[in-house]
Amino acid sequence: MSQAVEVLEKIAHSDDAVFAFDRNDLVILWNKACERLLGRPAYQVLGHRCYDVLCGRDVYGNLYCCSSCPLVTQARNRPQEELHEFLLDVPLPGGALKRVSVTPFTISGGHPSLATIVHVLRDPSAPASRLEKELAEAVETAPETGTRAGRKKTAGRVDALTVREQEILRRLARGLSTDVIAQELFISTVTVRNHVARILGKLEVHTKLAAVAFAYQHGLVGSGMPELPSLPEPAAKTPRPARPSVRPVRRRMVRRTIRAR
């Protein structure tokens, strides 16, 4: 499993609010704590550009989250320079602003332009969390990856996915459940589960989350992919005409008296 996927797996279920985006600035991880902190569910965020999601501004009101983000520029173009914690005002659904402290990390992808960037969010008055310290240690001690042989192996795993498996993986990236995927592809839920198991095996990952992260990192899904068709809205059922009321026919009960002779 790649370093990026290992770190994403580690933070996915963290109590700290964490999100991550790939070399195309597409959000590939948005954990439950981040959902609670910023009020946006993951299915609305995954696959979108980070700056379109956050729309964050610095403490002076200047737009910070944009296509020319200074932090991303530094991480991509000057990877030898250390990234530092900063404050960000993020709009919440409903119009309110939430000020958060952002601690950024980069996860090597073999080249600075391929690195995955992770943001850990917390209240500005809170101290650095245990996760932040563990991530800093993990990133510093992780071996460099991305050799020619490693890239060739990765490409082989991607090519190993069938068209149907890629269809299912893209739907997983959209946050669809097994039942919904089965409905959209007109197959059984058991068949979907079997496909998912084969996808995990071919990508050499252990969870759906890691598979989705791999898909975004290697271009299987993302902004350049065509939109997938969705199920048409169910047609409104035509009400059945009311049946004419029929008055029940009362049968006259005839009591027969047997007279004893």
Reported residue count of the chain is: 261
Contact yes or no for 23/216 (Cβ under 8 A): no
169-184 pLDDT tens trace: 888 877 788 899 999 9
Least confident span in 47-61, 139-153, 182-196, 207-221: 139-153
pLDDT grade, residue 204 (50/70/90)?
confident
> How many Å apart are CA 255 and CA 153, to the nearest integer?
94
> How many Å apart are CA 104 and CA 82, to the nearest integer?
10
pLDDT grade, residue 78 (50/70/90)?
confident
Residue 213, pLDDT score: 72
Q: Does domain 3-143 have CATH number 3.30.450.20?
A: yes
Residue in the block written with tokens 């969705």: 230
> How many Å apart are CA 204 and CA 6, to the nearest integer?
12
Residue 54, pLDDT score: 93
Secondary structure (3-state) at 15: coil
Contact yes or no for 222/42 (Cβ under 8 A): no
Residue 5, pLDDT score: 60
Tokens of 48: 């979108």
> How many Å apart are CA 172 and CA 239, to the nearest integer?
37
CATH of domain 150-217: 1.10.10.10
Q: Mean pLDDT across the chain, nearest whole number?
A: 76
Residue 247, pLDDT score: 54
Strand arrangement of the beta sheet that strand 17-21 belongs to: 27-30, 17-21, 116-122, 97-107, 86-91
245-258 pLDDT tens trace: 555 545 454 444 44
Residue 142 has pLDDT above 80, yes or no: no
Question: Over the Cα atoms of the chain, what is R_g?
Answer: 28
Please indicate whether residue 154 or residue 19 has the higher confidence score (pLDDT): 19
Q: Which sequence spans correspond to the domains of the chain?
A: 3-143, 150-217
Contact yes or no for 89/78 (Cβ under 8 A): no
How many contiguous H segments (helices) and E segments (strands) does the chain have?
10, 5
> How many Å apart are CA 25 and CA 2, to the nearest integer?
19
pLDDT grade, residue 66 (50/70/90)?
very high
Residue 214, pLDDT score: 73
Tokens of 55: 């729309």
Residue 94: how many CA atoms within 13 Å on its side-chain side? 7
> How many Å apart are CA 140 and CA 133, to the nearest integer?
11
Q: Can you spell out the DSSP letters for 105-161?
A: EEE--SSGGG-EEEEEEE-TTSPPPHHHHHHHHHHHHPPP---HHHHHHHHHHHHTS
Vertex 194, ends 231 and 211: CA angle to 5°?
80
